[in-house]
């Protein structure tokens, strides 16, 4: 069982305890001005095969692991949310961009017995590509942003990440549902730490299609 540390700081690992409510508002050091150019870059890309665009909001439960905890996958789910704009460039391919907020609990390894508990939170802009033709879909993308465990210690620094997901498109017309699974690998760095985090999510997306297509 990991020892408790005075002031709630685990030396040398950047892991600090916090409640979920406090952790939800972290990521202030994330340069949010990055998000709008990413979305606009997708939306204003040169002409596509169908001119079809899609605005999407996703939410779901996420579990994960932080390398600084020296633990395997933590079964301590938290809520993650995404906002994505997607543009069709070919009958089977699309590009997308948006903002990901990834969150999961850390309760094992060094995180064990911390009070309050630690929540790992990532705030990232993303650009990627999607394969699909109205039913199953696959996505992969490059993420850029910050990942932080707790609220104390050094501020997180910008780092890259990778995103992969798959799911189904359910429905027709303007409004559609997109249940899916996702995997994310994220750098979790600061001035004193060089860690990474992995997150697995089960989520549901609500999408609205416009500018042509069916």
Topology, domain 6-210: Porin (2.40.160)
Q: How far is 97 from 41, CA to CA, in rounded Å?
A: 8
Question: What mean pLDDT comes out for the span 154-158?
Answer: 90
- Going by pLDDT thresholds of 50, 70 and 90, the confidence category of residue 127 is very high
The pLDDT of residue 91? 86
Residue 85: count of CB within 10 angstroms of its CB: 19
SS3 track for the chain: CCCCCHHHCECCCCECCCCHHHHCCCCCCCCHHHHHHHHHHHHCCCCCCCCCEEEEEEEEEEEEEEHHHCCCCEEEEEEEEEEEEEEEEECCEEEEEEEEEEEEEECCHHHCCCCCCEEEEEEEEEEEEEEECCCEEEEEEEEEEEEEECCCCCCECCEEEEEEEEEECECCCCEEEEEEEEEEEEEEEECCCEEEEEEEEEEEEEEEEECCCC
Are β-strands 159-168 and 175-189 bridged in parallel, bridged antiparallel, or unpaired? Answer: antiparallel
Q: Name the pLDDT band for 141 (thresholds 50, 70, 90).
A: very high
Residue 40 main-chain phi, psi, to 5 deg: -65, -35
CA 170 to chain CA centroid, nearest Å: 22
Choose the weakest-confidence range: 38-47, 72-81, 109-118, 165-174.
38-47
The average pLDDT across 13-20 equals 50
* Average per-residue pLDDT for the chain: 81
Does position 185 have pLDDT exceeding 80, yes or no? yes
Mean pLDDT of 131-153: 89
- CA-CA distances (angstroms) from residue 48 to 1, 54, 96, 128, 133? 56, 13, 13, 16, 15
Q: Which residue has the tokens 């990440």?
A: 161
pLDDT tens digits for range 199-210: 999 999 999 988
In terms of pLDDT, which residue wins out, 60 or 10? Answer: 60
Least confident interval from 49-63, 137-151, 184-198: 49-63
Per domain, the residue ranges of the chain are 6-210
Checking if the pLDDT of 22 tops 80, the result is no
Tally of CA atoms within 13 A in the half-sphere of 60 that contains its CB: 21
Q: How confident is the model at residue 52 (pLDDT cuts 50, 70, 90)?
A: confident
């Amino acid at each position: 069982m990991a020892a408790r540390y005075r002031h709630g700081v685990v030396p040398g690992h950047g892991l600090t305890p916090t409640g979920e409510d406090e952790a939800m508002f972290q990521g202030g050091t994330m340069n949010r001005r990055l998000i709008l150019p990413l979305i606009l870059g997708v939306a204003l890309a040169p002409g596509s095969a169908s001119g079809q665009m899609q605005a999407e909001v996703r939410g779901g439960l996420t579990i994960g692991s932080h390398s600084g905890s020296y633990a395997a996958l933590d079964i301590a789910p938290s809520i993650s949310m995404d906002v994505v704009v997607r543009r069709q460039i070919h009958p089977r391919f699309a590009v997308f961009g948006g903002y990901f907020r990834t969150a999961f609990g850390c309760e094992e390894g060094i995180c064990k017995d911390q009070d309050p508990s630690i929540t790992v939170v990532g705030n990232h802009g993303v650009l990627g590509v999607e394969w699909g033709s109205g039913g199953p879909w696959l996505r992969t993308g490059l993420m850029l942003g910050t990942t932080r465990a707790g609220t104390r210690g050094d501020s997180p620094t910008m780092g890259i990440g990778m995103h992969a997901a798959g799911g189904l498109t359910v429905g027709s017309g303007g409004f559609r549902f997109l249940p899916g699974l996702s995997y994310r690998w994220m750098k979790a760095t600061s001035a004193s730490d060089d860690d990474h985090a992995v997150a697995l999510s089960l989520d549901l997306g609500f999408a609205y299609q416009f500018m042509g297509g069916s």
